[in-house]
Amino acid sequence: MKTQLFAAVLCVCLLPGCKMFKGGEAETVPANSNTGAGELPHPISPPGGQPGAGKTAPTKASRGKVAHVDAALGFVVIDFTFSALPPAGLRFGVFRNGLRVGEITTTKMVDEAFQVADINKGDIRMGDDVRLD
């Protein structure tokens, strides 16, 4: 069982690097863009260059389900299949039967619809709901 768990976590962690083998093309900047050389346009740009410029704004639609829990290592894998993947460093509440049972923080480790998150506190189980507070 531990071997299967380790293999699943390893796959989730390593698959984002596989994109370079799929023959995908690099993202390009349109010619009429006003960004400097080497910069890519940001999806959401706050007006006036306020602090936090370049960060994507979290959406209230980011909701998921706990797909895997590794309490020993202190992380969970969240399934965001029917929602947008949130940015790294965002705190989410974990709910079971409508009651808050824990808190997690998202990481940069993503794979298509799955994202790894660190457990901050609580008793988190597979199938729990994950949403912004």
In-domain check, residue 16: no
Measure the CA–CA gap between 25 and 111, rounded to whole angstroms: 18
- What's the mean pLDDT when you consider all of the chain? 74
Domain count across the chain: 1
pLDDT in tens, 55-97: 445 555 689 999 999 999 999 999 999 999 999 999 999 999 9
pLDDT number for residue 133 = 77
pLDDT number for residue 62 = 85
Evaluate if pTM is beyond 0.75.
Answer: no
In-domain check, residue 36: no
In-domain check, residue 71: yes
In-domain check, residue 30: no
- CATH classification at residue 122: 2.40.10.170
Name the phi and psi angles at 105, rounded to 5.
-130, 125
In-domain check, residue 95: yes
In-domain check, residue 18: no
Residue 96 lies in domain: 63-131
